[in-house]
Structure 1
């Protein structure tokens, strides 16, 4: 049995009656580098006509299908399909983060998205499918650094909103992915502070 990770004690917020909504799930996959640092896996979605999120950078995942036995199983399946990473073989489930609510791509119906955290202990190679432009491992230290934070202008019928984001190369992490990332970073920061006080 591997030791419990720094996310194992977290108690996530769960949206009441979430099973009555459309569901989706994503996988936040981290690995430990040779120098003891942590890296998080992101994918950049391929450009596709009619897809409002095409080109965005985020986490592997997608909607639950009838064959999925759970939201976590859906995250594992989608990750395998999109990246070739088989979490059931070389991944260790660590925790779930808080549910988030969004909507279907082309509808106004609400959809609950559940993030799951995994540690990856398998091969370094990633094999993206046609839905993914690229897959990258980004150091957690980079993601937490203030100088890499910024704002993304988002036009709405009521005016332009400046949404928080994290810049990475020629893209930025924003929206639901940014919220999930911030929860993970807050969690790891709290765990590190507690460990330093012991």
Structure 2
């Protein structure tokens, strides 16, 4: 399956995230999530997410943005210690404080897990979640989300008191369709 690239993405504000997985000693696979720091005025304060952020003028590519932001937020150096595996489909969201659209591109990395995590002020904690748990139908749920037009029941996955929903949940669904086994090859 080839990732969807939005044709107008270069005309909009861009952001990128890194979906980082590791293999465990028992043969399982875990995915790294960050819990965003709680901040006044941030509508996603405390939410579960993947490390990442907005592209800056110094970033050569959106993938470089994901690598830079991951290093800043978690201390994980994907350039030196990660293995790029895939690019997922572009998603459209909006800026935190505005209604202007923003394109988010997810990149998938395998991480051997040997480097310590060092969180910055944007991240409250990291949580490793087993992929088998994330894929299990019985762990899928709904999150009531209030909007000016009414309440929506958004799909989500709940794990030990955390709730993975929204863009992160959409990215997760595409990731679950990939082969992340130890012999997986890099995808386009």
Question: The TM-score by the shorter chain falls in which range?
Answer: over 0.9
Q: Give the aligned partner of residue 4 of structure 1.
A: none
Moved over 3 A (4+): none
1:43-78 CA deviation, whole Å, 9 max, x = no partner?
A: 000100111111000100000011111000000000
Separation (CA, whole Å) in 1 of partners of 2:75 and 2:147:
37
* TM-score when normalising by structure 1: 0.88
Where is the helix percentage greater, Structure 1 or Structure 2? Answer: 1
* TM-score when normalising by structure 2: 0.92
Aligned counterpart in structure 1 of residue 119 of structure 2, from 111, 115, 128: 128
**Contact 2:76–2:115 under 8 Å retained in 1:** no
> Following TM superposition, by how much is the alpha carbon of 1:138 offset from its aligned partner in structure 2, in angstroms?
0.8
Q: Give the aligned partner of residue 32 of structure 2.
A: 41
Aligned counterpart in structure 2 of residue 53 of structure 1, from 44, 60, 73: 44
Q: How many residues align?
A: 181
Change (3 A) 1:150 1:163: same
| RMSD after superposition | 1.4
Q: Which runs of 5+ in 2 are unaligned?
A: 182-188
Separation (CA, whole Å) in 2 of partners of 1:63 and 1:101:
13
Change (3 A) 1:148 1:124: farther
Aligned counterpart in structure 1 of residue 86 of structure 2, from 75, 78, 95: 95
* SS of aligned partner of 2:72: helix
> Following TM superposition, by how much is the alpha carbon of 1:124 offset from its aligned partner in structure 2, in angstroms?
5.3
